[in-house]
Chain A
Amino acid sequence: QKEVEQNSGPLSVPEGAIASLNCTYSDRGSQSFFWYRQYSGKSPELIMSIYSNGDKEDGRFTAQLNKASQYVSLLIRDSQPSDSATYLCAVNIDWGKLQFGAGTQVVVTP
């Protein structure tokens, strides 16, 4: 059974601080990794995709991938109240099929 694991949270982060989200996956053959943000009652919105080991930065977001450790993370710098949402880690496990983690709820406090 291929699995994607995330801490469910909630992760409470002071405004302006860095939020760090972690995700582990079981399928060593996975090649594509995604972070989505989902506000309550809304659909998932892509934040980042990452395919190679190392860091990838986009604005206030940085994704990190370590295939040897089967680990992908997301850093949110200068956290804003609008970042309060559930963050979903998704791994492409088979011909386009995405397997999602349960999501980490982030709460940014003023």
Chain B
Amino acid sequence: NAGVMQNPRHLVRRRGQEARLRCSPMKGHSHVYWYRQLPEEGLKFMVYLQKENIIDESGMPKERFSAEFPKEGPSILRIQQVVRGDSAAYFCASSRGTTTDTQYFGPGTRLTVL
């Protein structure tokens, strides 16, 4: 039973480049969440998506960040024109439903901006 899949596991970008992070939810899960963990800080909610819909993006920075979960394929978190402050671990989680359902986390993508 495959868990939440994320790729790449490590991503290095230079300032100004774009970063694309991918997440495939667990089988049977249709809800995807993205969280960011800055160095020495806690996990912060970024965005909650269902297939073809953004449900809550209240944690997303207003500029340069976007997320999608298309009808086919993985969810993608896109960061344009990366800056050094974007260096962090980005975790994707998935759940079967909402509110009370447990969220299971993927292994994360560690983004380093040079």
Chain A positions within 8 Å of B, measured between CB atoms, are: 31-32, 34, 36, 42-46, 49, 51, 88, 90, 92, 94-103
The reply to whether the CB of B48 lies closer than 8 angstroms to some CB of chain A is yes
Q: What's the tally of chain B residues with a CB closer than 8 Å to chain A?
A: 27
CB distance from A39 to the nearest CB of B (A): 12
- Nearest B residue to A99 via CB reads B45
Tell me the minimal C-beta distance from B44 to chain A in angstroms: 8
Given A95-B56, A95-B99, A96-B31, does the pair A43, B48 have CB atoms closer than 8 Å?
no
Interface residues of B in 73-114 (CB under 8 A from A): 91, 93, 95, 98-108
Chain A residues lying within 8 Å of B44, measured Cβ to Cβ, are 100
Partner of B108, one of A43, A97, A98: A43
Chain B residues 48 to 78 lying within 8 A of chain A, measured CB to CB, are 48, 55-56, 58-59
Quick one: closest A residue to B32, CB to CB?
A96
Chain A residues, CB < 8 A from B102: 34, 46, 49
- Additional A-B contact list (16), CB under 8 Å, known A31-B100, A96-B33, A97-B58: A34-B102, A42-B107, A42-B108, A43-B105, A44-B105, A46-B102, A88-B42, A92-B100, A95-B48, A96-B31, A96-B48, A98-B45, A98-B103, A99-B45, A101-B42, A102-B42
